[in-house]
Amino acid sequence: MANITETYKKFATLSPEKIAIHTSNQQISYKEWNQLINQTANWLHGQLNTKTIGILLPNGIPFLQMFAGACKAGWIAVPFDMKWNLADLEKRVKLSKPSIIVTTKEIYAKFHSIIPNMKVLDDCLQEIANFNTFSSIELEEDLPFYVGFTSGTTGSPKAFMRSQDSWVASFDCNRFDFGLDESDVTLIPGALIHSHFLYGAVSSLYLGGTVLLLENFSANNILSMMNDLPISTIYVVPTMIEALVREGIQVNKAMKILSSGAKWTEKSKIEFCQLFPEMSIFEFFGASELSFITVLSDLDGVLKAKTVGKPCYGVEIEIRRPNQELAKTNETGKIYVRSKYLINGYFEENENIVHSIQDEDGWATVHDMGFIDEDGFLTINGREKNMILYGGINIFPEEIEKVISLHPDVEEIAVIGLSDPYWGQIVAAVIKGKCNSFELKKFCKTYLSSYKIPRKWFFKDEMPYTTSGKIARAELIKQIEMQVTKN
């Protein structure tokens, strides 16, 4: 069966002294990394309890050690976010039921009397050091290995299960779509709790490259490392790009930028290309449940900037009408995906059943709406549940948000639908920034049809967010409706 650690032994033999992971205060060679993962797997294999480990640790080698060691042992790894409050952590612990949670001394002292099965990292590392550096653990076929959480815009966590086969298969996207291999030095500047950065680190190690891991995101640190170190690839999200652009420092080195998490605005991309003219940009569109879906390279991005690209290696896409018939070229419908990269499914608290998201033919959807053009490029209109029905016309908030976000004085924007007795729903914009409705309306008239221009405007100092940092639309709509009722 496939295993995300299966190549470590090969690289430990071929390039034993090559650096596998490098942090600000620690580095480990492939020989040492292979031995450490074997020891960790043997330690877990000897535990007499259910095979699920919670990882509540900061960015660092121990986080990746616990994750990879669990995979080697046939355990399920559940990363927990150190920024979650007690209530958020408790919800996810109840959902995933880890038999061990490895954490820091500080968090253990704070929560061990409330959260069960916590163990201090330092104690675990001492135990692990006593185990054999060789491993002969035999695993079952296609084991689940990773539980993640997705909250969308509601804030309520859903747990999903993923198999090792799905991630190992998706490593082909790194090879074929991004041209990555063992020669790459990959910078991971974001928190490993987020699958984009965890995947970036784990896939780089599988391919035999070197991972440079930041403990915390810092635009200044990234720029210094770009200039001083032989970095070839960087995993980012658009907010990181914005932070780099704000520094205004030019870097003339050839590297690959792999961006995901949200659509990169055209304005930001232009500014980035001016400061980093030698960079090759790869935007990939995906979802926690579906993994890779499409990729847009900078070569295609010039002519197809409003799209999210073409299907990734090994991915099939269909656009379907509400009656499940296939949509025509340029016709908006629901996006369905089929590949080897999909999750096993969701599971609920107190249930032992994983509910698959695939139909009998292997297709799945997360209810995004969009269309495929005559050249095979996919455009995303928005989420079906966010769609506003204005007098019988479907309006996607994401399209309006893209336009309003281009205004220089808009920091954040959320477009929502408010109930209206005549129209059914009307378009409303909630803005964080130093601007007013008059200038924003004028700005919108340049880019949007009149019926898409927001009828109501609200200005807030802060937006409500989910634990994953997205704007919590359900909570925002509730706040605005209460504000409208009071007025």
Query: What's the distance, CA 372 to chain centroid?
Result: 23
pLDDT at site 299: 80
pLDDT at residue 153, rounded to an integer: 46
More confident residue, 97 or 154: 97
For the domain bounded by 387-486, which CATH number is listed?
A: 3.30.300.30
Mean pLDDT of 257-286: 86
Per-residue pLDDT band for 90 (boundaries 50, 70, 90) equals very high
- Any idea where the domains of the chain sit in the sequence? 387-486
- C-alpha 261/C-alpha 272 separation (Å) is 17
**Mean pLDDT of the residues in the chain:** 91
Cα 392 to Cα 123, 296, 331, 448, distances in angstroms: 62, 33, 17, 18
Q: What is the pLDDT of residues 177-209, one digit of tens each?
A: 999 999 999 999 999 998 999 999 999 999 999
Q: How far is CA 316 from CA 135, 167, 304, in A?
A: 38, 17, 20
Residue 204: which H helix or E strand, with range?
helix 195-207
| Strand arrangement, sheet containing 378-383 | 316-320, 333-338, 368-372, 378-383
Q: Examine the pLDDT at 317 and tell me if it is beyond 80.
A: yes
Confidence tier at 260 by pLDDT (50, 70, 90): confident
Number of CB atoms found within 10 A of residue 29's CB: 17
pLDDT for 85 equals 83
